């Protein structure tokens, strides 16, 4: 690294952190070293997570909570230990408030499917939501006869709160929004919106899928009623997500899925439910995935979410600066790195995002192209799709340089001009 790359805020020992992620040593077709800028899509996994999952499968595999043998006890301890790690990561008041799901989408569907709504009730979401925090609420309001309303967006890509008094008024039962946008990168004022929502008695559901990887997520400090995130974006495996909810909220909801391990007793006449968290964990859960997630959160905890946040902001600032120097590039979302997370969506004039991604891929650079499961947000800005580069704790300034060079190459390949 050159001296110009000594950005304030970068994680110290970045080379050592990168060495924890074996995939980062891959050389891609054409002899290009992998430049992985698709972490908002899914993060890479450190060796310690991979090893923990292999070790669990090699030495401790058994079903949990129902096997009366030593392996069963070990597996149960590993699974429930992961729940403790998650509770610690979220600063949850109780480990019983941590529900394992298969991903963030399932966690959001759990709440949308079970929360009591009826005609005259209102659900408020935002125009920058991922489809996973839109579609479940469309289904819930269609099913119940409740009304679905939206916070709009400003031209700068922030929430338009000018009509907050109208949207957050009696009748609004649920406010569901993302903490950090997966497309615009915007960090939303979730604690303030939660406070306002609570004044009118609404519950607040936060999608922390993009926040959990890069910000300290303290459910007590933010004050929300439900917070969801997914394992695979926080250096953990796929197949596991988390719903955290306040005990009194979770206790009041009916079960989501019925099956084994979620019951107190079952008779032919009726069944009764286990207490939380098990009430919401029907069937054999993703055990080794939970073990991997627990280790992933410990790994992030050792590095420190504050430090990761500073690193992301330093890299994002450097990326925004680099993109500003490429003629014909337009960034969507806040241009101030302090207001955003590490996902930056942009357009390149005259070159479609698929073609941008293909050209970058030919140089070993992985980005995402498309609507990023946020079609309403794209429509708001009059674009069909964008290219998105997203960094993480292992991203270096040199990788951003490679991206910027790759964009210049893309423009020359498609013979599109400068300004």
Give the one residue of 371, 380, 388, 411 binding other proteins; rule: CB under 8 A.
371
Does residue 359 interact with other proteins by CB under 8 A? yes
Beta-carbon count within 10 A of 196 CB: 18
Calpha distance 302→309 (Å, rounded): 14
CB of 358 to other proteins, least distance (A): 7
CB of 181 to other proteins, least distance (A): 17
Residue 80 or 405 having the CB closest to other proteins: 405
Q: Which secondary-structure segment (H or E) carries 266?
A: strand 263-266
Yes or no: say if 271 and 326 are a contact pair by the CB < 8 Å rule: no
Does residue 131 interact with other proteins by CB under 8 A? no
Residue 176 or 329 having the CB closest to other proteins: 329
Q: Where are the alpha helices (DSSP H) in 61-187?
A: 70-90, 104-114, 135-144, 164-167
Calpha distance 247→31 (Å, rounded): 53
Determine whether 373 is an active site residue: yes
- Report the half-sphere exposure of 253 (CA within 13 A, side-chain side): 25
Residue 287, both tokens? 């055990």
End-to-end Cα distance, the chain: 30
Does residue 272 interact with other proteins by CB under 8 A? no
Calpha distance 212→219 (Å, rounded): 11
Does residue 407 interact with other proteins by CB under 8 A? no
Q: ω before 277 within 30° of 0 (cis)?
A: yes
Yes or no: say if 49 and 261 are a contact pair by the CB < 8 Å rule: no
Calpha distance 161→150 (Å, rounded): 10
Q: Looking at residues 232 to 251 of the shown chain, list those that interact with other proteins (rule: CB under 8 A).
A: none
Yes or no: say if 308 and 11 are a contact pair by the CB < 8 Å rule: yes
Yes or no: say if 159 and 186 are a contact pair by the CB < 8 Å rule: yes
Does residue 387 interact with other proteins by CB under 8 A? no
Give the one residue of 4, 16, 29, 419 binding other proteins; rule: CB under 8 A.
29
Give the one residue of 218, 361, 401, 405 binding other proteins; rule: CB under 8 A.
361
Give the one residue of 60, 196, 378, 380 binding other proteins; rule: CB under 8 A.
378
Residue with tokens 């609404």: 202
Yes or no: say if 243 and 99 are a contact pair by the CB < 8 Å rule: yes
CB of 367 to other proteins, least distance (A): 13
Question: Which of these segments, 168-176, 203-211, 251-259, 347-355, binds other proteins (CB under 8 A)?
Answer: 347-355
Does residue 30 interact with other proteins by CB under 8 A? yes
Residue 143 or 330 having the CB closest to other proteins: 330
CB of 150 to other proteins, least distance (A): 20
Residue 276 or 357 having the CB closest to other proteins: 357
Question: Which of these segments, 49-57, 195-203, 338-346, 349-357, binds other proteins (CB under 8 A)?
Answer: 349-357
From the candidates 373, 375, 405, 416, which is the catalytic residue? 373
Question: Which of these segments, 232-240, 251-259, 326-334, 377-385, binds other proteins (CB under 8 A)?
Answer: 377-385
Give the one residue of 369, 377, 403, 407 binding other proteins; rule: CB under 8 A.
369
Residue 33 or 370 having the CB closest to other proteins: 370
Does residue 352 interact with other proteins by CB under 8 A? yes
Residues 6+ apart with CB under 8 A from 311: 9, 10, 11, 393, 395
Can you tell me whether residue 74 is helix, strand or coil? helix
Give the one residue of 102, 113, 339, 375 binding other proteins; rule: CB under 8 A.
375
CB of 26 to other proteins, least distance (A): 14
Give the one residue of 353, 376, 397, 406 binding other proteins; rule: CB under 8 A.
353
Does residue 385 interact with other proteins by CB under 8 A? yes
By DSSP bridging, strand 329-332 and strand 271-273 are: unpaired
Calpha distance 5→92 (Å, rounded): 38
Q: Which residues are identified as catalytic?
A: 373
Binding residues vs other proteins (CB under 8 A): 29-30, 352-355, 358-359, 361-362, 369-371, 375, 378, 384-385, 413-414
């Amino acid at each position: 690294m050159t001296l110009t790359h000594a950005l304030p805020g970068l994680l110290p020992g970045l080379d050592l952190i990168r060495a924890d992620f074996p995939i980062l040593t891959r050389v891609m077709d054409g002899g290009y070293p992998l430049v992985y800028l698709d972490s908002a899509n899914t993060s890479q996994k450190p060796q310690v997570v991979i090893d923990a999952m292999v070790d669990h499968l090699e030495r401790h595999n058994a079903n949990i909570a129902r096997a009366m043998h030593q392996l069963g006890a070990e597996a149960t301890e590993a699974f429930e230990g992961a729940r403790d790690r998650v509770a610690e990561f979220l600063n949850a008041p109780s480990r019983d408030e941590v529900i394992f799901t298969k991903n963030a989408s399932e966690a959001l569907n759990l709440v949308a499917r079970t929360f009591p709504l009826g005609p005259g009730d209102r659900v408020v979401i935002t125009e920058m939501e991922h489809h996973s925090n839109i579609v479940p609420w469309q289904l819930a309001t269609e099913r119940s006869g409740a009304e679905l309303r939206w916070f709009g967006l400003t031209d700068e890509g922030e929430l338009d709160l000018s009509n907050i008094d109208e949207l957050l008024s009696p009748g609004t039962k649920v406010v569901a929004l993302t903490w950090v946008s997966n497309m615009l990168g915007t960090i939303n004022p979730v604690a303030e919106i939660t406070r306002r929502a609570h004044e009118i008695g609404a519950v607040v559901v936060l999608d922390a899928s993009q926040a959990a990887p890069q910000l300290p997520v303290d459910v007590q400090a933010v004050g929300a009623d439900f917070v969801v995130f997914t394992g695979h974006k926080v250096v953990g495996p796929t197949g596991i997500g988390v719903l955290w909810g306040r005990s009194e909220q979770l206790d009041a909801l009916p079960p989501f899925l019925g099956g084994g391990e979620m019951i107190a007793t079952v008779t032919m006449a009726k069944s009764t439910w286990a207490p939380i968290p098990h009430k919401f964990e029907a069937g054999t859960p993703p055990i080794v995935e939970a073990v991997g997630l627990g280790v992933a959160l410990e790994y992030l905890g050792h590095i420190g979410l504050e430090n990761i946040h500073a690193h992301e902001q330093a890299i994002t600032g450097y990326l925004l600066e680099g993109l500003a120097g490429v003629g014909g590039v337009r960034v969507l979302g806040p241009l101030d790195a302090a207001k955003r997370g590490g996902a930056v969506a942009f357009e390149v004039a005259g070159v479609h995002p698929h073609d941008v991604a293909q050209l970058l891929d030919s140089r070993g650079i992985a980005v995402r192209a498309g609507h990023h499961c946020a079609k309403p947000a794209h429509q708001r800005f009059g674009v069909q799709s964008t290219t998105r580069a997203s960094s993480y704790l292992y991203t270096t300034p040199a990788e951003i340089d490679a991206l910027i060079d790759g964009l210049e190459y893309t423009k020359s390949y498609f013979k599109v001009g400068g300004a």
